[in-house]
Structure 1
Amino acid sequence: MNTRRDFLKSSGAMALGALLLPNLAAGKGTAKVNNVGIQLYTVRNEMLADAVGTLKQLAQIGYKELESARSEKGLYYGLQPKEIKKITEDLGMTLRSGHVGIDKDWERTVAAAAETGQDYLICSSLPSRGQTVSNYKHVADIFSKAAEDCKKSGIIFGYHNHEYEFEKENGQVLYDILLDETDPELVKMELDLGWVILTGNDPITYFDKYPGRFPLWHLKDMDKTKRESTEFGKGAIDIKRMMQNAEKSGMKYFFVEQEEYAGAAMDSVKHNYQYLQKMSI
């Protein structure tokens, strides 16, 4: 007899399957990665030179989910919110998220994000600098207020980590303060897996300690010697292991990100997409 609990567990598995594991019934080791996203900072110069043309190239490669980033031409690379919404939809892609700052233009930033129809608005750096427990508690308060603003517009607020958040004061990891001092239903985290690993930490440890708190990921490989990003399969991150723990983290969307390249950025973008397509989970 199927219970409600069984149904919910099955529904949860199917929801994850729609994102990552379309062949879930075939069992572990045969599922494929689907709905690959990309952080547009990866192709920042290309977006500034020709936003529409670059989006077309990404669509042709196979990318489906997009995350924007602030640029010299504004939040959407010179495009208007409704304009980028239509362009991406026409290309079969969805603008899911955007990297922004909490500043004097915050209200306009939230309003613009609502116009694009995106689900998430991600603060990309600390709005108040200072590597102290006191400052991180202050930042947590700022995030809570920003999250309320976003909620009113139907948007989910989150924060994207770098390397410095994993420093400690008096033995306390500063990043953990942001998690502990904010409402998990209101303030989400976009975990940059590469930076976590570069600091000597394991993302899975965070998935275990804060299950469901990380609906967004930045998926990047890292060269530990150079301390910079690299193409998938050339660095220190076990991408397959990360994907196998997606459900535990609460991941709904992930965005491929690479900041440094061995050659042309678009070549790296193609390599990373093809690497994921060849992967079985």
Structure 2
Amino acid sequence: MNSRRQFLRNTSALTLGSLVVPQLTQATNLFSAVATPPIGIQLFTLFGLMNEDPKSTLEKVAAVGYKEVESAFSLRGNYYGYTAKEFKALVSGLGMTWRAHHAGGAPFRPRAAAPRPAATGAPAAGGQPAGGQAPPQRPPMDFSKMPPMLNLRDNYQQLVDDAVEGGLSYLVCSSTPVATVDEINKSIEVFQKTGEAAKKAGIGFAYHNHSTEFDPVEGGKTPYELILSQTDKDLVKMELDLAWATKAGKDPVELFKQHPGRFPLWHIKDIKADKNSITEVGNGVVDFRRAFAAAKTAGLKYFFVEQDMAPGGIDSITTSYSNLNKILA
């Protein structure tokens, strides 16, 4: 399974560890009279395509109907080879809003190369690509040539400054070492400093989870519990990944009730019944309707479709967009 954590582990060593559907604008039945945020996308979903040709890829994303963008790291460095100001202009020029950016909580060191995902032909049952036609093969990605990546431990102020220059609403920690209490405590220190800097700059800061944050560590507490309880709720918000929470056996709605207003960002990700295979939104077992019905309790402001390095590329994000519109309708 291609989770971001697995991807980073495979490519790095942590130190410190075409259907176009009209945009839905209101869904009062699910949102309890709260206006529905526009549908957004986390660009890690299109990792290979964004590294090949970010401008062309974003044009296709906009054509599907997505209105909000959350960026991730890139082999091109910076923001897909652009400065924050340049990337904002590119996204805005396509009728979308660059809303948030993912940055690692600690440094990682890329290896020389890794297999590159196909852009089209989402695998069907039995591993055969959809339509029975093999997706185009691409050469391995060469991580040895990737420019140094900024991280929150060492570069939180620069990342905050870039976020302000890009007009972002949130800076988000994509992943951080949480295998031990010591790692968790160090990460919490980074989160507090980043949250303070972000608030001073007039933006928000949030933490994005995987499933392992719900695994108990020394003392029986989970990293997620410790992060929630030992950070300032006004400085450190959460970006809940609904699929990873579901995989861990957690009920997103119960999390919202326990920590109301703490979840302004969501990842709209789906997972199959095996709890191992990430799939297009609506093709798995995540109960999105129930989650969206509790959006007001969560404090939801923005949400982003994510399918980690989607094998179907644009076809996959089109399916997710169409299905999500049906879910929200």
Residue 261 of structure 2 is aligned to residue 212 of structure 1: yes
User: Within 1, Cα distance between the matches of 2:32 and 2:231?
Assistant: 38
Query: Hey, what does 1:156 align to over in structure 2?
Result: 204
User: Within 1, Cα distance between the matches of 2:256 and 2:89?
Assistant: 35
Instruction: Verify the 8 A CA contact 1:30 1:280 in the aligned structure 2.
Output: no
Query: Hey, what does 1:81 align to over in structure 2?
Result: 84
User: Within 1, Cα distance between the matches of 2:31 and 2:213?
Assistant: 34
Question: How far 1:187 moved relative to its partner?
Answer: 0.7
Counterpart selection for 1:167 from 215, 219, 235: 215
Query: Hey, what does 2:174 align to over in structure 1?
Result: 124
Residue 115 of structure 2 is aligned to residue 112 of structure 1: no
Query: Hey, what does 2:188 align to over in structure 1?
Result: 140
Residue 284 of structure 2 is aligned to residue 235 of structure 1: yes
Query: Hey, what does 1:203 align to over in structure 2?
Result: 252
Query: Hey, what does 2:319 align to over in structure 1?
Result: 271
- Alpha-carbon spacing, 1:23–1:229, altered in 2? closer, same or farther (3 Å): closer
Deviations 1:16-62 (A, max 9, x none): xxx986263xx569999651000000011111111111111111111
Query: Hey, what does 1:223 align to over in structure 2?
Result: 272
User: Within 2, Cα distance between the matches of 1:22 and 1:131?
Assistant: 41
Q: Which runs of 5+ in 2 are unaligned?
A: 1-22, 105-151
Query: Hey, what does 1:15 align to over in structure 2?
Result: none
Query: Hey, what does 1:249 align to over in structure 2?
Result: 298
User: Within 1, Cα distance between the matches of 2:209 and 2:51?
Assistant: 24
- Alpha-carbon spacing, 1:161–1:130, altered in 2? closer, same or farther (3 Å): closer
Counterpart selection for 1:54 from 37, 53, 57: 57
Question: How far 1:130 moved relative to its partner?
Answer: 4.6
Q: Which runs of 4+ in 1 moved over 4 A?
A: 27-34
Question: How far 1:132 moved relative to its partner?
Answer: 3.2
- Alpha-carbon spacing, 1:63–1:237, altered in 2? closer, same or farther (3 Å): same
- Alpha-carbon spacing, 1:138–1:227, altered in 2? closer, same or farther (3 Å): same
- Matched to 2:296, the amino acid is E
Query: Hey, what does 1:22 align to over in structure 2?
Result: 26
Question: How far 1:163 moved relative to its partner?
Answer: 1.3
Query: Hey, what does 2:97 align to over in structure 1?
Result: 94
Q: Which has the higher contact order (CA 8 A, sep 6+)?
A: 2
User: Within 2, Cα distance between the matches of 1:40 and 1:34?
Assistant: 18
Deviations 1:84-131 (A, max 9, x none): 1112112111011000121433332222111101010001111xx352
3-state SS of paired residue (2:300): coil
User: Within 2, Cα distance between the matches of 1:85 and 1:29?
Assistant: 29
Query: Hey, what does 1:16 align to over in structure 2?
Result: none
**What fraction of aligned residue pairs are identical, expressed as a percent?**
42
Q: Which runs of 5+ in 1 are unaligned?
A: 1-18
User: Within 2, Cα distance between the matches of 1:196 and 1:154?
Assistant: 29
Query: Hey, what does 1:39 align to over in structure 2?
Result: 42
- With normalisation by structure 2, the TM-score equals 0.73
Question: How far 1:280 moved relative to its partner?
Answer: 4.2
Instruction: Verify the 8 A CA contact 1:156 1:186 in the aligned structure 2.
Output: yes
CA RMSD of aligned residues (A): 2.3
User: Within 1, Cα distance between the matches of 2:256 and 2:196?
Assistant: 25
Instruction: Verify the 8 A CA contact 2:271 2:279 in the aligned structure 1.
Output: yes
Instruction: Verify the 8 A CA contact 1:228 1:260 in the aligned structure 2.
Output: no
- With normalisation by structure 1, the TM-score equals 0.85
* Residue correspondences, number: 258
Instruction: Verify the 8 A CA contact 1:229 1:260 in the aligned structure 2.
Output: no
Query: Hey, what does 2:236 align to over in structure 1?
Result: 187
- Alpha-carbon spacing, 1:130–1:122, altered in 2? closer, same or farther (3 Å): closer
- Matched to 2:99, the amino acid is R
- Matched to 1:36, the amino acid is I
User: Within 2, Cα distance between the matches of 1:57 and 1:116?
Assistant: 21
Instruction: Verify the 8 A CA contact 2:44 2:309 in the aligned structure 1.
Output: no
- Alpha-carbon spacing, 1:205–1:83, altered in 2? closer, same or farther (3 Å): same
